[in-house]
Chains A and B, each alone.
Chain A
Amino acid sequence: MASRIFGSGIKRREDPRLLTGQAKYTDDFVLPNMAHLAVVRSPYAHAKIKKIDTKKARQMPGVLGVFTGSDMKEAGFGPIPCAWVVPGSNTKTPPYPPIAIDTVRYAGNAVAIVVAEDRYAARDAADAVKVEYEPLPTVSDPKRAAEKGAPRLHADVENNVCFLWNVKGGDVEAAFRSAEVVVKDRIRNQRLIPNAMEPRAALAQYSSGSGEVTLWVTSQNPHIVRFLLSLDTGIPEHKIRVVAPEVGGGFGSKIPHYPEDTMVIFASKALGRPVKWTETRSENYRATIHGRDHVQEVELAAKKDGTILGLRAKVWANLGAYLSTASTGIPTILHGLMLSGAYKIANIHEDVYGMFTNTTPVDAYRGAGRPEAIFIVERLVDLLAKELKRDPADLRRQNFIPPFSDGHTVATGVTYDSGNYAGTLDKALQMAGYKALRERQADLRKKGQYLGIGLSTYAEICGLGPSQVAGAVGFGGGLWESAIVRFHPSGKVNVFVGISPHGQGEETTFAQIVASELGVPVDDVEVIHGDTDQTPMGWGSYGSRSTAVGSGALMGAIAKIREKAKIVTAHLLEAAVEDIDYADGKFFVRGSPGKFKTIQDVALMANVAWNLPKGLEPGLEASAFFDPPNFVYPFGAHIAVVALDAETGEVKLERYIAVDDCGRVINPMIVEGQIHGGIVQGIGQALWEGAVYDENAQLLTGSMMDYALPRAEFFPNFELGMTETPTNVNPLGVKGIGETGTIASTPAVYNAVLDALAPLGVKQVDMPLTPERVWRAIREAKGR
């Protein structure tokens, strides 16, 4: 039975509470005497604060207090720390005060907070706070921010350049000198708004008696938030409890430690009451981090026979107005190191300018850096195929890294763990019926109908990661994981983990691992996460690391449980420990399978401790930590088929085929769900989504009415396939699957649309490929 649990798509343990409305998200918590906080935000993207008049607001009914940035500063609340500062790049870290003190640098920057008896009273009073501004010139485009004469955001950051980072491998100049073909592109990898369905919220309860604070917060990584709070609130780490209860999606946007976390703690301390803040969606669009936003100038050098020689890129990455928690690591380490994609590219050089602009801070958004890299490679390979009149699948196959199982180092210096890129491509082509598709495309073109077929063959880096590497690349924390497995006398199990899932289903996946490795029914395992007072230290859920790294810690604890169970069994059966074997939930004497103890027998005896070997500690509990020796590198091949209406510019997604390889699969149903969701988010970027700022750096796409999110009606059913290439980076051979769909699908769909547009002479259109943009591009091409 046990072996069938691993690899089986069992229903999720999380679901009943979520399906019935019993799950408790942060905003659902109500504490006695709780007050509500509202934030006064700047309507200007860049301005001096001349005066803040709080008098009227203070006198309004139900108002308990109105506070400014100076009040927080005087109370000892410091600037929000940046937790990832890339080294060797002269990175500037200007202060990020939780509430602006004399200058606002983006529209939505907090200027004051109001605390009142209820949500409505707080909002009313926030509207009554009068702020006098002296507007300053603004800049929102990352490349324009670097130009001479651009408005400067931070006094000591010249030309708004936060850092200049580069990656160099091989000799790119020589590669381009010897190239027979060079293809170039200018890519606008546009700014996206994460839109986790649950807006952020934070609820703080400070006790002056004990000096302790509890923060319930919408977070993907409560231990990181606790660590950072200990730096900016002045409250020591052991007196801070951070709870991430049910969290309604994150996609990276709930990694950062946000100013509102400290605002509610400050207010709770100042007023002696629990204080809650809940973001409105409109507020979320301005105050929660955005993703992507690169201007990229890229080129690829090759021989006429299709062999790729080198890749060169220059990137201006928008960081927004302040450095959010992981901001500088995203467009550098998680981006530049993946520019080789799935290909042999001996020579790579990229320069990345990290730019401050008058926009909402930019940080990790699903894929975080890798989508911005894989799009470059996949686009350039397609352009090369067009240039050489080669089939894009064949050209890809020609340049793939050949199958490997024990490491392959690419020019950027990272060592992929295992891969078989031709394997996923072949399977995807077969599922798509690629040859027949191309024939159909040719037939339709004769009739003036435009079918597009787009490929994307990716490799990505996730399962973050070895802590030593984290330190070397400037990440201000570790990236290991932890787990405690605790058997109760009845044989039931609690598992406590450092990861903090928020929709990914690890309560089920981890229960499956325990069930299959220790022979307990899956329903006897309860997984506890997301509370720094209950769970061991961990670095959270992001970078597709929860299962890839977290399961390593869990396996370590399971191994210790087994060792102890063998000792107890040997004692009870009067055998030698070396003679005890384990299989399918039974510890037995080798050669006498009839003489055994179940894990439940052992749990009972270990807990009651009536008859244990001399000197053995009672209890059946183990704790383990796991720091992986490498990242993991899942890969795959995606194919998009689109129909283009050349009259209206409208694109209809006809089919989508995805073959992914994430190593061994624990729960295929959950894995497929992750892929579905990822694909839709990536297609969202290709076709509809994009944050737009006007010339005054005002966010024009400031609500769900103006920002086009994918809806059910936009999609066909996706056709999924898998291959399994295990990794040796962790005990179970698993790789991450949370972000692959997003990484792969944007270039697959973009390439498909450009493939459809090729006979019309269109070579480049900026994303998102809305009907208007496509229509204009067709008209422009005709005009020429």
Chain B
Amino acid sequence: MRRPLLIALAMLFAFAVIVLPVAAIFTRAFAEGAGVWLSAITAPETRAAIWLTILTALIVLPINIVFGLCAAWAIARFRFPGRRALLILIEIPFAISPIVAGLCFLLVYGAYGPVGAALQPYGLQLMFNLTGIVLVSLFVTCPFVVREVLPVLAVTGEDEERAALTLGASGWQIFSYVTFPNITWPLLYGAILATARAIGEFGAVSVVSGAIRGQTMTLPLQIELLYNDYNTTGAFAAATVLALLALVTLILRGLIAAFHPARGATS
């Protein structure tokens, strides 16, 4: 008797907290017809916001992959001073509220911060533009790849790497033939989680974006702006785009789970 009750509760919860709100976005966005929806998402400002969000994600993704691989590799394979510190440091972005992270970046890299002020004479500005948005997005997303890759790297492959070394493989050959195939799935998985987060990030980006309409507004910022302008149709239409982008990452994530047994249905 208890099992059906638990299942019903879980279903109800999922419906109330997930299905209903998401469905509401789409109903509301299409309430005035597909034509209105289309013109709302193709409005110049919204289009610019969509592009900025995708551009940011595209810049952040490869940097995340390279940094994540290097950090995970170093921590898993070498004992060096500062190793434990690096391990803790990598977790910090998850512990800090994004808005605080944004403020920290502003303090250091803004026009009145030490780095920002030093760069100003050369006409270099880091905050309130794409650079600033990319920097905070990197901060917010950098733990994902490391966290997925590190545990796998730590328990597999060291012996295989040593075998490859004695067989005459170069460092690069060891990485590409032996190590990389072992961590392809966790790497992809971490990269997708990071990308989803980069696309949806609001707090940290809102601090450093400068909110220049049509220029430094990412999609989440643009949605809030439209909503505050009482342009609810525009806001919900833009929200559907964000939801669709999230859906794509969700599908990719599901595909990986399906093809990578260790990731199974529980994750």
B is bound to A: no
